[in-house]
């Protein structure tokens, strides 16, 4: 096997490891930019993973499965929204409770789906182009959710920076009182942002159960929701830097597996520590470096808002 | 005549105590329906979830045993959350406390002396503090967000413990299985209630909660913590150092988490094993908020949380519900508890504004 | 204190079970034997815990209403385990299976307090009057799949997705490698540790990494079918773990090592019912049917199948042993002279790798 080819395969593996992190974190980024902290990503991902799997198996349509996953994530997020935005429950605790709830609910729903195979999400194959060396497998042989994750990242970046509604969303997250006094409905904006977070987490779950490892087993997210939360912080709430963060984390995770496979003789526990340590170091370098500007969280993050009437 | 939601001028003290009761009642009703829908005996389900763990001295001791670490960690975290310092890595600090304190126990294996246990406690606290010092330093010096650092370091701590118990700290007589030797007598916490597992650490947790309350409400440091959290600008104006608060709160929460970890290994576990906590560091975050970040409130919050875990096990044993259902149940209980806070801070009026306050409705309806 | 607690609680139980007990005392027919199972993972893991739960179901099937089983999932190894085991013991269970190594000390502690209750602890090493220990010789299955890998691998390199370096896993890696080297002396086994029993994503990434590095046989000592799925999509071969995973990899699965606890569980429950239960420490393998080999996949060559069958039947009749000398470790030092076999004790504490293992 040529080394060039092996390199491409490695990158393809990195892409699939990074995609669920990217999708879930992207949703959370939008949620947090509106000033809401939802720690229930893991629970929403699981709801998406099990719904996507169950619907795909039951209907035979993977498209319906992905749709169901997105809806399940949105529904979970909506519950979170009702509790935190309408009833003003504490966001941190409610998010954690949502995770406990999601783990339980997903295994309840999924009990009948363990041990069943599923036809995975098809890889999009473009004649000629997909067969090109290097660029073919690297860029033109993935499934729709991978392309969607990239498109969504660019879309969110554009939305936040260039559109009026993106500006409103940021205003709501930075200063809810002023956004309210200008006449924007803070709570409505936050609901939309929270539900978008659920949508993206649901897709991340669908990616796990329909593409990455096409199966349903209990708690198959194995902590990826938490990593996604950390990556939002890593990105300083900016989509393009999030893309970098997700690929960095996914990349180091995969590279340490390759290093182990090559037999370099370092204890496996130390190798497994690398992605976490690398993320901390890179964030510190960014924070200490010349790009210092704007590392702060959205000013209203985690704070409840009730318009004074 | 539409219902209106209004912010109460001051907290409603009746609701303050009534709302958790209301939440539990709502959970029982929903739980009843859930058990019924899933084909289990609902009376038995609710009974074993909420009541049967409380019906014996042993059961109550187990409740204390489970609540102890949650309370200890929760108090420390609450201090930080009040000052807007988001330590969500208590799980890792707990692990490092257990490593440091457990390391002392292994180094002094077979050594008899009243001083062994206090030394282990000290090491546990220092271990947790040292580990919390990493996010504290990175935040104070480079403004690196502590949510990321403390969370990531949790995974590193677990792997570190794993490296030790799979390697050098492995029991030499243990067939190369991943566990240390059992600690000797002098390194084990005394049991305070004969015939149960309730150990001294649980009493310490309660004392820490009371001390935390005094600190928060009666001292200048407590005042500073609250001001820094609520009005950072005013705090800066008053000359309260933000850096000092970061260090203070992270050292406190890290030290207490470390102590909680040591109490686990020197208490019910009695040795070092690859994973020493079923997520206490994360669950304590919920406990801190359920207790409304008030160290005294954290005591009942920790007990309720512990009950929901033990009740979940009970329901599996006695009613045969799947574990998944207890997760759903626990999630709902928390949702109701968290949402019921609403009634403390807001009132729902059915009359037009201006009518006497006595007419306010306190129905749980929105 | 203890007995009173049980009585009070029984008194509280609405209707059914308390009444059944009272009636049972009056009738000739005895109350069902209650058997408890403590699981470390969720039943839905499709791996270790799933296997034990199939054993529990076999018990229910074998004894019908003469038995009543209880199971508790996802029990953390530590203080929680002791509470759950104790609760089962106090609640009238006569036999309790604790199915993870980490439940050893809690099981021993509870057993001391309940001398009349029988305990069965999987994969540990401490027994007592009322605590028996049982384990399966999974490594025997590794010898069979290693033989197949030796025949079927073109590159002579296998990828082994591993969880944690406990003797059980180390033994499996060595048995697999030694068997493959009997066929192809230059056979190498790459090992990647994912530091988890259970993370489908990471397990599949580890498999991909090793395939990219030239492995064309994938096997695993983790719980999910993910590595096997990767083998299927990447066009290499693999082996299932714990249960027959053919459904996930109809082409790639050459066979699977199946853990079958059913017979043992049924036998031990029967012993409790008959009053013949005695403590022991058993390590059963293919001979007793605790380890089984799934039907071979259609892609297997005739030579590989014949040789695999030779090893399998040889292990059963005692003519083949997985660890027969000469054994040489990674540094080239001789660990066992020619003609000898490792003792059970030496295998059960194994913490070294044979030459040809890359880890």
- Against chain B, the chains showing at least 3 CB pairs within 8 Å are A, C
Copy the structure tokens of residue A187.
Answer: 């709570």
Question: Mean of the pLDDT values across residues C223-231?
Answer: 93
Instruction: Give the closest of C12, C79, C166 to B65, CB-based.
Output: C79
Chain-chain contact of C78 with B43 (C-beta, under 8 angstroms): no
Whether residue B357 is predicted with pLDDT greater than 50 in this model: the reply is no
What is the pLDDT, as a whole number, of residue B270? 95
Of the candidates C1, C240, C6, the residue with the CA atom closest to the CA atom of residue C144: C240
H/E stretch holding B53: none
Contacts with A, C 214-243, CB within 8 Å: 214-215, 224-226, 229, 243
Tell me whether C346 touches chain B (CB under 8 Å): no
- Using an 8 Å CB-CB cutoff, list chain C residues near A115: 46, 50, 243, 247
Whether residue A141 is predicted with pLDDT greater than 90 in this model: the reply is no
What is the pLDDT, as a whole number, of residue C12? 35
Closest chain A residue by Cα to residue C206: A257
What average pLDDT does the structure give for chain B?
A: 89
Contacts with A, C 242-261, CB within 8 Å: 243, 247-248
Q: Which of A153-157, B25-29, C267-271, C339-343 comes out lowest in average pLDDT?
A: B25-29
- A30–chain C nearest CA distance, Å: 25
Chain-chain contact of C159 with A218 (C-beta, under 8 angstroms): no
Higher local confidence (pLDDT), A241 or B9: A241
Copy the structure tokens of residue B317.
Answer: 């044993």
What is the pLDDT, as a whole number, of residue A247? 96
Chain-chain contact of C213 with A6 (C-beta, under 8 angstroms): yes
Chain-chain contact of A215 with C190 (C-beta, under 8 angstroms): no
Q: Are A294 and A25 in contact (CB under 8 A)?
A: no
What is the pLDDT, as a whole number, of residue A4? 62
What is the pLDDT, as a whole number, of residue C21? 41
What is the pLDDT, as a whole number, of residue A294? 56
- Using an 8 Å CB-CB cutoff, list chain C residues near A1: 212, 214
| Phi/psi at C257 (5° precision) | -90, 120
Question: Mean of the pLDDT values across residues A197-221?
Answer: 96
Closest chain B residue by Cα to residue A98: B331
Chain-chain contact of B182 with C105 (C-beta, under 8 angstroms): yes
- Report the distance separating Cα A227 and Cα A207, nearest Å: 16
Q: What interhelical angle do B295-318 and C79-90 show, nearest 10?
A: 50
Chain-chain contact of A215 with C248 (C-beta, under 8 angstroms): yes
Indicate the pLDDT class of residue C87, thresholds 50, 70 and 90. Answer: very high
Please give the angle made by the CA atoms of B332, B335 and B339, to the nearest 5 degrees.
145
Contacts with A, C 77-136, CB within 8 Å: none
Q: What interhelical angle do C302-317 and C138-152 show, nearest 10?
A: 160
- A140–chain B nearest CA distance, Å: 33
Question: Mean of the pLDDT values across residues B128-155?
Answer: 95
Q: Specify burial of residue B351 (Cβ count, 10 A radius: 0-12, 13-18, 19+).
A: middle
- A32–chain B nearest CA distance, Å: 14
What is the pLDDT, as a whole number, of residue A308? 66
Give the residue carrying structure tokens 């139980």: C13
Chain-chain contact of C192 with A260 (C-beta, under 8 angstroms): yes
Question: Mean of the pLDDT values across residues A99-127?
Answer: 89
Whether residue C102 is predicted with pLDDT greater than 80 in this model: the reply is yes
What is the pLDDT, as a whole number, of residue B6? 72
Per-residue pLDDT reduced to its tens digit, A19-63: 999 999 999 999 999 999 999 999 999 999 999 999 999 999 999
What average pLDDT does the structure give for chain A?
A: 91
Q: Are C41 and C73 in contact (CB under 8 A)?
A: yes
Closest chain B residue by Cα to residue C352: B176
- Against chain A, the chains showing at least 3 CB pairs within 8 Å are B, C
Per-residue pLDDT reduced to its tens digit, C7-23: 333 333 333 444 444 44
Closest chain C residue by Cα to residue A5: C212
Q: What is the ipTM of this complex?
A: 0.92
Q: Write out the DSSP string of B301-364.
A: HHHHHHHHHHHHHHHHHHT---HHHHHHHHHHHHHHHHHHHHHHHEEEESSPTTS-GGG-B--S
Whether residue C28 is predicted with pLDDT greater than 70 in this model: the reply is no
Per-residue pLDDT reduced to its tens digit, B145-200: 999 999 999 999 999 999 999 999 999 888 888 999 999 999 999 999 988 999 99
Copy the structure tokens of residue B92.
Answer: 């890792």
Indicate the pLDDT class of residue C25, thresholds 50, 70 and 90. Answer: very low
Chain-chain contact of C14 with B44 (C-beta, under 8 angstroms): yes
Of the candidates C208, C228, C140, the residue with the CA atom closest to the CA atom of residue C176: C140
Copy the structure tokens of residue C324.
Answer: 């027969």
Contacts with C, B 293-312, CB within 8 Å: 309-310
Whether residue C91 is predicted with pLDDT greater than 60 in this model: the reply is yes
- Report the distance separating Cα B293 and Cα B284, nearest Å: 11
- Using an 8 Å CB-CB cutoff, list chain A residues near B304: none
- A66–chain B nearest CA distance, Å: 24
Contacts with A, C 20-49, CB within 8 Å: 42-46
Alpha-carbon Rg for chain A, nearest whole angstrom, is 20
Write b or e for each residue in B235-253: b if 16 or more Cβ atoms lie within 10 A of its Cβ, otherwise e: beeeebebeebbbbbbbbb
Q: Which of B343-357, C41-55, C133-147, C200-214 comes out lowest in average pLDDT?
A: B343-357
Whether residue B323 is predicted with pLDDT greater than 90 in this model: the reply is no
Indicate the pLDDT class of residue A286, thresholds 50, 70 and 90. Answer: confident
Percentage of chain C with pLDDT > 70?
92
Whether residue A171 is predicted with pLDDT greater than 90 in this model: the reply is yes
Q: Please tell me what DSSP assigns to residue C324.
A: B
Whether residue C133 is predicted with pLDDT greater than 70 in this model: the reply is yes
- B185–chain A nearest CA distance, Å: 31
- Using an 8 Å CB-CB cutoff, list chain B residues near C43: 322
What is the pLDDT, as a whole number, of residue B2? 55
Tell me whether C70 touches chain B (CB under 8 Å): yes
Tell me whether B149 touches chain A (CB under 8 Å): yes
What is the pLDDT, as a whole number, of residue B234? 83
Whether residue B80 is predicted with pLDDT greater than 90 in this model: the reply is yes
Indicate the pLDDT class of residue B354, thresholds 50, 70 and 90. Answer: very low
Indicate the pLDDT class of residue A137, thresholds 50, 70 and 90. Answer: confident
- Using an 8 Å CB-CB cutoff, list chain B residues near C350: 176
- C102–chain B nearest CA distance, Å: 8
User: How many A×C Cβ pairs under 8 Å?
Assistant: 115
- Against chain C, the chains showing at least 3 CB pairs within 8 Å are A, B
Tell me whether B217 touches chain C (CB under 8 Å): no
- Report the distance separating Cα A8 and Cα C292, nearest Å: 39
| Phi/psi at C337 (5° precision) | -70, 165
What does each C-alpha distance from B235 to B228, B239, C305 come to in angstroms? 5, 6, 77
Per-residue pLDDT reduced to its tens digit, B201-215: 999 999 999 999 999
What does each C-alpha distance from B286 to A96, A174, B201, B333 come to in angstroms? 7, 26, 21, 12
Give the torsion through C-alpha atoms of B325, B328, B332, B333, to 10 deg: 60
Strand partners, C71: C37
Q: Which of A288-292, B323-327, C53-57 comes out lowest in average pLDDT?
A: A288-292
What is the pLDDT, as a whole number, of residue C3? 30
Chain-chain contact of B147 with A230 (C-beta, under 8 angstroms): yes
Indicate the pLDDT class of residue A292, thresholds 50, 70 and 90. Answer: low
Per-residue pLDDT reduced to its tens digit, C279-313: 999 999 999 999 999 999 999 999 999 999 999 99
What is the pLDDT, as a whole number, of residue C47? 86
Cα atoms found within 13 Å of the Cα of residue A277, Cβ hemisphere only: 11
- A88–chain B nearest CA distance, Å: 6
- Using an 8 Å CB-CB cutoff, list chain A residues near B142: 284, 287-288
Q: Please tell me what DSSP assigns to residue B190.
A: P
């Amino acid at each position: 096997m040529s080394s060039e080819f092996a390199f491409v395969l490695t990158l393809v593996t990195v892409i699939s490891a990074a995609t669920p992190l990217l999708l879930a974190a992207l949703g959370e980024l939008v949620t947090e930019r509106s000033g809401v902290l939802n720690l229930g990503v893991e629970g929403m991902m699981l709801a998406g993973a099990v719904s996507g799997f169950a619907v795909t198996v039951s209907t035979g349509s993977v498209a319906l499965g992905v749709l169901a996953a997105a809806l399940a994530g949105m529904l979970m997020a909506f519950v979170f929204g009702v509790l935190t935005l309408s009833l003003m429950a504490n966001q941190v605790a409610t998010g954690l409770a949502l995770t406990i709830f999601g783990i339980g609910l997903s295994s309840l729903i999924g009990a009948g789906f363990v041990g069943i195979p599923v036809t995975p999400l098809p890889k999009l194959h473009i004649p000629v182009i997909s067969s090109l060396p290097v660029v073919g497998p690297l860029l033109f042989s993935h499934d729709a959710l991978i392309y969607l994750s990239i498109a969504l990242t660019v879309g969110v970046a554009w939305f936040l920076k260039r559109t009026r509604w993106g500006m409103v969303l940021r205003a709501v997250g930075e200063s809810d009182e002023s956004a309210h006094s200008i006449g924007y409905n803070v709570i409505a904006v936050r609901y939309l942002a929270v539900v978008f977070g659920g949508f993206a987490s649901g897709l991340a779950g669908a990616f796990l159960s329909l593409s990455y490892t096409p199966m349903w087993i209990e708690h198959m997210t194995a902590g990826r929701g938490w990593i996604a939360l950390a990556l939002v912080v890593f990105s300083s709430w900016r989509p393009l830097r999030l893309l970098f963060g997700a690929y960095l984390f996914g990349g180091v995770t995969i590279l340490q597996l390759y290093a182990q496979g090559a037999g370099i003789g370092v204890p496996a526990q130390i190798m497994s520590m690398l992605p976490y340590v690398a993320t901390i170091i890179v964030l510190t370098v960014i924070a200490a470096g010349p790009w210092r500007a704007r590392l702060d969280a959205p000013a209203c993050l985690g704070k409840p808002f009730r318009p004074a009437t | 005549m539409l219902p209106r939601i209004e912010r109460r001028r001051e907290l409603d003290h009746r609701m303050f105590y009534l709302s958790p009761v209301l939440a539990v009642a709502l959970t029982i009703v929903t739980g009843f329906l859930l058990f019924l829908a899933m084909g289990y005996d609902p009376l038995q389900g609710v009974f074993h979830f909420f009541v049967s763990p409380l019906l014996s001295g042993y059961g109550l001791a187990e409740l204390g045993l489970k609540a102890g670490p949650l309370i200890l960690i929760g108090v420390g975290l609450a201090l930080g959350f009040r000052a807007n310092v988001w330590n969500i890595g208590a799980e890792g600090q707990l692990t490092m406390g257990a490593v440091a304190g457990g390391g002392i126990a292994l180094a002094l294996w077979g050594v008899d002396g009243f001083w062994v246990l206090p030394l282990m406690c000290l090491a546990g606290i220092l271990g947790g503090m040292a580990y919390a010092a990493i996010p504290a330093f990175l935040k104070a010096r480079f403004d690196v967000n502590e949510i990321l650092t403390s969370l990531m370091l949790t995974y590193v701590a677990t792997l570190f413990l794993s490296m030790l118990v799979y390697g050098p700290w492995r029991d030499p007589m243990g067939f190369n299985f991943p566990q240390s030797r059992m600690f000797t007598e002098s390194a084990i916490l005394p049991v305070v209630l004969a015939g149960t597992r309730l150990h001294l650490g649980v009493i310490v947790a309660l004392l820490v909660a009371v001390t935390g309350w005094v600190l928060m409400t009666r001292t200048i440091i407590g005042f500073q913590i609250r001001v820094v959290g609520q009005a950072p600008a005013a705090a800066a104006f008053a000359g309260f150092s933000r850096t000092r608060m970061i260090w203070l709160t992270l050292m406190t929460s890290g030290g207490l988490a470390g102590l909680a970890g040591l109490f686990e290994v020197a208490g019910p576990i009695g040795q070092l094993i690859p994973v020493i906590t079923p997520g206490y560091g994360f669950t304590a975050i919920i406990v801190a908020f359920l207790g409304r970040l008030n160290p005294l409130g954290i005591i009942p919050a920790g007990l309720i949380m512990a009950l929901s875990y033990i009740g979940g096990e009970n329901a599996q044993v006695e009613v045969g519900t799947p574990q998944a259902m207890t997760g759903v149940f626990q999630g709902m209980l928390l949702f109701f508890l968290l949402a019921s806070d609403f009634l403390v801070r807001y009132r729902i009026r059915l009359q037009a504004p201006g009518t006497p306050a006595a007419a306010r409705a306190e129905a749980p309806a929105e | 204190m203890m007995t009173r607690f049980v009585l009070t609680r029984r008194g509280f139980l609405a209707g059914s079970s308390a009444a059944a007990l009272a009636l049972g005392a009056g009738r000739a027919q005895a109350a069902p034997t209650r058997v408890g199972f403590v699981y470390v993972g969720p039943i839905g893991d499709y791996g270790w815990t799933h296997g034990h739960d199939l054993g529990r179901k076999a018990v229910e099937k074998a004894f019908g209403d003469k038995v009543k089983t209880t199971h508790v999932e996802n029990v953390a190894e530590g203080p929680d385990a002791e509470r759950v085991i104790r609760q089962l013991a106090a609640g009238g269970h006569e036999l309790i299976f604790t199915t993870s190594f980490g439940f050893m000390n809690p099981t021993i502690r509870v057993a001391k307090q309940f001398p009349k209750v029988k305990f069965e602890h999987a994969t540990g090493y401490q027994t007592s009057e009322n605590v028996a220990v049982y384990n399966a010789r999974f490594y025997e299955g590794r010898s069979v799949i290693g033989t197949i890998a030796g025949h079927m691998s073109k590159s002579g390199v296998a990828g082994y997705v591993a969880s944690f370096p406990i003797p059980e896993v180390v033994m499996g890696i060595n048995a697999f490698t030694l068997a493959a080297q009997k066929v192809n002396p230059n056979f190498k086994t790459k090992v990647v540790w994912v530091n988890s029993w259970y993370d489908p994503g990471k397990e599949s990434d580890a498999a991909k990494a090793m395939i990219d590095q030239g492995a064309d046989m994938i096997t695993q000592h983790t719980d999910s079918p993910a590595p096997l799925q990767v083998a299927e999509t990447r066009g290499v071969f693999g082996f299932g773990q714990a249960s027959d995973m053919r459904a996930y990899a109809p082409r790639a699965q050459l066979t699977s090592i199946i853990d079958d606890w059913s017979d043992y569980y049924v036998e031990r429950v029967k012993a409790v019912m008959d009053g013949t239960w005695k403590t022991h420490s058993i390590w059963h393998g293919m001979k007793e049917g605790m380890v089984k080999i799934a039907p071979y996949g259609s892609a297997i060559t005739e030579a590989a199948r014949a040789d695999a069958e030779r090893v399998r039947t040889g292990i059963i009749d005692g003519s083949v042993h997985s660890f027969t000398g000469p054994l040489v470790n990674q540094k080239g030092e001789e660990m066992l002279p020619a003609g000898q076999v490792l003792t059970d004790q030496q295998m059960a504490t194994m913490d070294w790798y044979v030459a040809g293992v890359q880890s």
